[in-house]
């Protein structure tokens, strides 16, 4: 595995690549990241992973300083998984001057859900991803980038950004990787105590229950009044709160645009999404229904 720290070094290493396959990460890698890399290796002529904890997507009160940084472990995992090139810039390499030009995504998509509770988050995500795309794919006829469905809204925002800027990059979605007991893999799972780790399954369970109840209420939601769906969502929030969580949202949305279901939207076109804090750890998950 070759390692680049600067953008010029990365571009030099990729000078002969025709279709790089890229997996951007913030490090602290787990099996979910390695599953993304395995998919990337199938889709390009050189596999590239990045490790960069992006300050721009953290709010002032969030965990930028304490976010787990496990560079040596990450390198070993990537080597074992067959990664061809690792891009591991320092902050000064990616942002040599204050990043005053930023990519601001469409508020109709980016200000919902995660964007409501983490204002500015997707501007930080889009800005760093655009810069990483520029570093990896500059001068290439085409490329592919692999993102996980666990960050469902992020995947949609990135896909829309690529479409809007007509970038020659295929955005490939990979299914959420889960532990044997069903918990969605996340770098932030490391924050959970053993007791919290056992309790963390309740978020996925709440999403499954809400999805089943919503479909049962109208068989396909086609005839489900908005008030009924809102009542189901409120009940799900209340139940999760009673179990000791601090939920931000549990909601059923359309996969196409993350708006509320409309008459005619049925099974196969919907997604249940949730975000909630357990102790000091904020977890997200989703389930397509």
* Residues forming the active site: 33
Of 127, 109, 136, 276, the closest CA to residue 207 belongs to 276
Helix, strand, coil abundance in the chain, percent, nearest 5: 40, 20, 40
User: Three-state SS for 251?
Assistant: strand
Mutual orientation of helices 226-242 and 201-218 as an angle, nearest 10°? 160
Distance (Å, whole) CA 170 – CA 158: 11
What is the phi/psi pair of residue 40, to 5°? Answer: -60, -40
Of 152, 175, 187, 181, the closest CA to residue 275 belongs to 152
Q: Give Dmax (Cα) for the chain.
A: 57
Distance (Å, whole) CA 133 – CA 242: 43
Contact 10, 136 (CB under 8 A): yes
Distance of CA 229 to the CA centre of its chain: 26
């Amino acid at each position: 595995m070759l390692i680049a720290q600067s953008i010029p070094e990365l571009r030099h290493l990729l000078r002969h690549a025709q279709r790089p396959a890229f997996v951007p990460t913030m490090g602290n890698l787990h099996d979910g990241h390695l599953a993304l890399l395995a998919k990337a290796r199938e889709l390009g002529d050189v596999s590239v992973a990045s490790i960069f904890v992006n300050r721009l997507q953290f709010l002032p009160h969030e965990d930028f300083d304490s976010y787990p940084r496990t560079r040596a472990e990450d390198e070993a995992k990537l080597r074992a998984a067959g990664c061809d090139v690792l891009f591991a810039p320092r902050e000064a390499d990616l942002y040599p001057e204050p990043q005053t030009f930023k990519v601001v995504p469409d508020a109709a998509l980016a200000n919902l859900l995660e964007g409501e509770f983490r204002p500015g988050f997707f501007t930080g995500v889009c800005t760093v991803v655009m810069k990483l795309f520029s570093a990896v794919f500059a001068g290439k006829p085409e490329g592919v980038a692999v993102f996980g469905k666990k960050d469902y809204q992020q995947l949609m925002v990135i896909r829309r950004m690529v479409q809007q800027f007509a970038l020659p990059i295929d955005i490939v979605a990979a299914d959420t990787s889960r532990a044997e007991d069903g918990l969605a893999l996340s770098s932030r799972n490391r924050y959970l105590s053993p007791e919290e780790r056992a309790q963390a399954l309740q978020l996925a369970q709440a999403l499954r229950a809400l999805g089943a109840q919503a479909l049962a209420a109208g068989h396909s939601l086609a005839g489900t009044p908005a008030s009924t769906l809102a009542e189901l969502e409120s009940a799900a929030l209340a139940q999760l709160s009673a179990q000791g969580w601090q939920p931000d949202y549990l909601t059923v949305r359309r996969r196409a645009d993350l708006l509320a279901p409309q008459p005619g939207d049925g099974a196969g076109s919907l997604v249940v999404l949730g975000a909630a804090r357990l102790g000091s750890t904020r977890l997200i998950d989703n389930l397509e229904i």
